[in-house]
Structure 1
Amino acid sequence: MLKVTFPVSGVKTYLFLPPLVSFVLAYFGAMAGVTGAFLLLPFQMSVLGYTSPSVSATNLLYNLFTIPPIVISYARDGRLNWPLALCISAGSSLGIGGGYLLRIHYLEDPARFKPFAGLVLLYLAFRLGKDLLSGKKRKTPPQKAVIKYEELSLKQARFSFAGQKHRFSPITVFIVSFAVGIVGGAYGIGGGAIMAPYCLSVLKLPVYTVAGATLLGTLVSSIAGVLFYSFGPAAKGILTRPDFLLGALFGLGGMLGGFLGARSQKFIPERPIKAGLFLVVLLIALKYLLVLINIF
């Protein structure tokens, strides 16, 4: 089988492997409002051996390829929550610059970065698991159900979906998104992988109204992140710019997988989507944290 070496990252792998992995991650992730980038990063670090700070930038670059067709699909179906998307986009894009500085000055060493990544993933697993244990089961909405806005202000946004009324505080979402942007900028995930569990478990919004919004927010913050990592000031001798060839290869698989995942979401009940995310995130979080205390 054909192996290639990517000049920026130094990664040597089979040509088919990056798009295959990203296709699977994006297909299942798109249903829950994430791209799978929070799982793609451990794959790059642990399997491909890509551990320099530029791996975060490459992860963000993957989002730029993967997200647009997913967002377009949700918008066409009337399931893109624009007010929620704007709040997430504004907050996370502002916070991502702080995450970039955190990554290059304090988390450049993989020995420091891995526990940080593990704690982020463990938090995601906790929020999803708590929601699965205590949350009420929702019926799969009609395939033609769309979001209908009832009130939009800085204090409160109310909308209905499939006959059920929901609300959230735009100001609160903005503040949380800003903090998440800092974490996402350091981790290289754009923040959607944290905002999606927050919207599902804390705000109690249905996944069908959250996925498009968190992905659009991830797209905007990922653009900011790629710019920071490509042109921002870095410590001398530290590689921060993304591996564009590797990122594009991941992106091609993500584009196809994400689009198909978005088209499939309306046919899948909400609980299996959450359960799948919970199991994968928990296992990877434990792997990172247990390895670092020499259990493995």
Structure 2
Amino acid sequence: MDLLLAVLAGFTVAAVTTPVGISGAVLLLPVQLSALGMHGPAVSATNLLYNVVATPLGLRRLVRSARGHGAEMAVAVVAAVPCSIVGAAVRVTWLSDPDLFRALLAVLMFGMGLRLLIVRSRKRPEPAPNAPARGRGVLALAAGGAALFGAAVGIGGGSLLAPLLVGVSGWLTSRAAVVALSTTLTTSVVGLTAYAVFDLVGFGAAPATPDWGVGLALGVGGMAGSLVGIGLSRRLGEQPLRFLLGGLILLTGVSYLVGLVR
């Protein structure tokens, strides 16, 4: 039953989040913490395992439909690698406190979601495809920070990078999704490896290795859901995708805040 729930959860969240650059892992944390009763760094590692399975097909489809962002993807990936390792180390040490983990996640998700929903009415000009809005150095910094936090909480860097690119830098959602999902996949592969190594050598809180059954079930559902979501997204415009992204993140943050006060 747990595995069936995991497949359904992975499919549902991926279908609505992949088109806007989110892997779905950001919305799977409540499923693991509440419905499946998981806890500790293993929750973050299991989410990263979901990303590793669910993200590649959706990313491939996005790359094929949005060419011309190779340089931006490369900058984000290079920045994400070392920061993902640091993020995993932070999770098994400082963020092993469950209350601190929930509080930090709630505040960040709430703030990012709100920033996307409160937007200016005027449209900012879209930068050229091979010239990031505020320079590749800024993109690297944003991707690195997103990867660090994304590996720590297990949501993948794209869940944080996409709102920054769309809400702050003014990127189109379709453009941000490609770079964000590239960051998510890199963060997930490197972060998952780091968790496994930390658990093997006894560094930090345990268990840090993922629940392989749950993670793979979530990933299989997410793999199918991501393809369905990308197909459906072609019928939506830019503004609905922007508000969908902000609304999903805001609701996630609110759910964690509510959980903290109970």
Question: Above 0.5 in TM-score?
Answer: yes
8 Å CA contact 1:86–1:217 kept in 2: the answer is: no
- 1:129 maps to a residue whose letter is L
Question: Structure 1 length normalisation: TM-score?
Answer: 0.81
**Please, which of 68, 72, 83 is the counterpart of residue 84 of structure 1?**
72
**Please, which of 97, 108, 114 is the counterpart of residue 96 of structure 2?**
108
CA distance in structure 1 between the partners assigned to 2:35 and 2:58 by the alignment: 27
Q: State yes or no: 1:253 paired with 2:190.
A: no
**Please, which of 196, 199, 206 is the counterpart of residue 165 of structure 2?**
199
**Please, which of 151, 155, 158 is the counterpart of residue 189 of structure 1?**
155
Shift of 1:250: 0.3
**Corresponding residue of 1:263:** 231
Q: State yes or no: 1:93 paired with 2:59.
A: no
**Corresponding residue of 1:7:** none
Specify the structure having the higher radius of gyration (Cα).
1
CA distance in structure 1 between the partners assigned to 2:161 and 2:205 by the alignment: 33
Identity %: 29
CA distance in structure 2 between the partners assigned to 1:187 and 1:237 by the alignment: 14
Question: Structure 2 length normalisation: TM-score?
Answer: 0.91
What are structure 2's unaligned runs of at least 5 residues? none
CA distance in structure 2 between the partners assigned to 1:276 and 1:38 by the alignment: 14
Shift of 1:281: 2.2
Q: State yes or no: 1:290 paired with 2:250.
A: no
CA distance in structure 1 between the partners assigned to 2:151 and 2:82 by the alignment: 10
Shift of 1:137: 6.4
CA distance in structure 1 between the partners assigned to 2:153 and 2:138 by the alignment: 22
Deviations 1:115-169 (A, max 9, x none): 11112211221221223xx14469xxxxxxxx985xx5xxxx16xxxxxxxx441
How many residues are matched?
258
What's the Cα RMSD here? 2.1
- 1:22 maps to a residue whose letter is G
Q: Which has the higher helix share?
A: 2
8 Å CA contact 1:25–1:257 kept in 2: the answer is: yes
**Corresponding residue of 2:56:** 68
8 Å CA contact 1:79–1:208 kept in 2: the answer is: no
Q: Which has the higher strand share?
A: 1
8 Å CA contact 2:93–2:204 kept in 1: the answer is: no
**Please, which of 6, 10, 21 is the counterpart of residue 9 of structure 2?**
21
Question: 1:148/1:198 Cα in 2 relative to 1: closer, same or farther (>3 Å)?
Answer: closer
**Corresponding residue of 1:162:** none
**Corresponding residue of 1:163:** none
- 2:256 maps to a residue whose letter is Y
8 Å CA contact 1:80–1:213 kept in 2: the answer is: no
**Corresponding residue of 2:106:** 118
Where 2:118 maps in the other structure, the secondary structure is: helix
**Corresponding residue of 1:39:** 27
Where 1:16 maps in the other structure, the secondary structure is: helix
Where 1:267 maps in the other structure, the secondary structure is: coil
Question: 1:148/1:16 Cα in 2 relative to 1: closer, same or farther (>3 Å)?
Answer: same
What are structure 1's unaligned runs of at least 5 residues? 4-12, 139-146, 159-166
